[in-house]
Chains A and B, each alone.
Chain A
Amino acid sequence: MARAGGISNPVNVGIAVQADWENREFISNISLNVRRLFEFLLQFEATTKSKLASLNEKLDVLERKLEVLEVQVSSATTNPSVFN
């Protein structure tokens, strides 16, 4: 009985170690996937920032062009001799 108990102890230990190793493997997989997710988010943030910046620049240019056109049209309507 004592020998059986002595045999079962290392078996239990072995099972526990195996379970622990499985848990660790699971945790490492989860952490790896979370890091990949984080890298994707960083990359996505960089691309969206650049796209938003270009869009902002385009809008600024459009606003300036619109202001120039407004001034030209207003001057033409008020004073037609500007074009002469």
Chain B
Amino acid sequence: MEKRENEKLEEKSENENEKVEGKTRVICVPPVGRCSSFLCSEAKPDAEQFQGALRELKDLRSQLHQAADYCENAFLKEEKKKMILDSTKSYICDAIVAVIDHLGTVSSKLELELCNVAKATQTEQKMDFLRQRLLMCQQFAVTAELATFRYREKLMHHHPQYLSDGQILKKYDSSSRVEEGSRQIKDSHGKEKFGLSGRFQHVETGTEHVMILPGQHGQPILVTPSFGLKGTHNIGGDDKKKMQHNFLAFLSKNRKKSR
């Protein structure tokens, strides 16, 4: 298509030249071809169109240089300079129009190339999807690991010392049993040891059962059910001996009463 246009332009210029040839020698300058990249834009891809437009612009530059040299030489050599000047003026106008046309096509093609960044956005989206998948796999692995970590055959016991005041005392086995609602402690032989007033709580510490009893001055006392006074511990108490003495006296009184 470009060749056909150039041929047409050449024919026109040749006709014009033939008319003037009779009088003076005419500037035999090749005509300035218009950019024909728009006609072939649908067939070629964008990159090739831009390259083609750039190549045409470079060819136009070389063509204009040649035309300028020719015009200068003709003006210097010929006698009728006015005719040469007029033809040069017309050629300059056409050349400027052609240059603007070519520059416009090149800039438009380049801008299309820069705006067409769909591939970059697509790759960005694909990478985001991959990252999401990896995160999901990671979360799944973490949850699966947590499930194995949480499951236990032996459930943890809730210690009654952390219970509120309204809790009822639980029943225990024969080694150390306390009836519900009662405030009497029985040993392994089933005999009543002493009656207690006030509140007391039961604590499990491993295999041994320990009881917390209210002390004399409101300080709690930790006692083993064996009542051998071996495992007596004062909780928060400074004067151990005093507390032990008080407890001994208390026990002796109860024994006397029971007898």
**Which residues of A are interface residues toward B (Cβ below 8 A)?**
23, 26, 30, 33-34, 37, 40-41, 44, 48, 51-52, 55, 58-59, 62, 65-66, 69, 72-73, 76, 80, 83-84
Contact = CB atoms under 8 A, between A and B. Distances in A.
A62 B137 contact: no
B103 A37 contact: yes
Nearest to B107: A44
B141 A33 contact: no
Interface of B: 85, 89, 92, 96, 99-100, 103, 107, 110-111, 114, 117, 120, 123-124, 127, 130-131, 134, 137-138, 141-142, 145
A51 B107 CA distance: 13
Given A34-B96, A72-B134, 20 more contacts: A30-B92, A40-B103, A41-B103, A48-B111, A48-B114, A52-B114, A55-B117, A55-B120, A58-B120, A62-B123, A62-B124, A65-B124, A65-B127, A66-B127, A69-B130, A69-B134, A73-B134, A76-B137, A83-B137, A84-B141
A15 B91 CA distance: 24
Given A69-B131, A72-B134, A84-B142, A51 B120 contact: no
A30 B111 CA distance: 27
A59 B124 CA distance: 9
A73 B111 CA distance: 37
B96 A30 contact: yes
Contacts of B117: 55, 58
A34 B117 CA distance: 33
A66 B125 CA distance: 12
A65 B132 CA distance: 13
A38 to B, nearest CB: 11
A59 B92 CA distance: 44
B53 to A, nearest CB: 14
B120 A62 contact: yes
Contact of B114 (A23, A51, A72, A73): A51
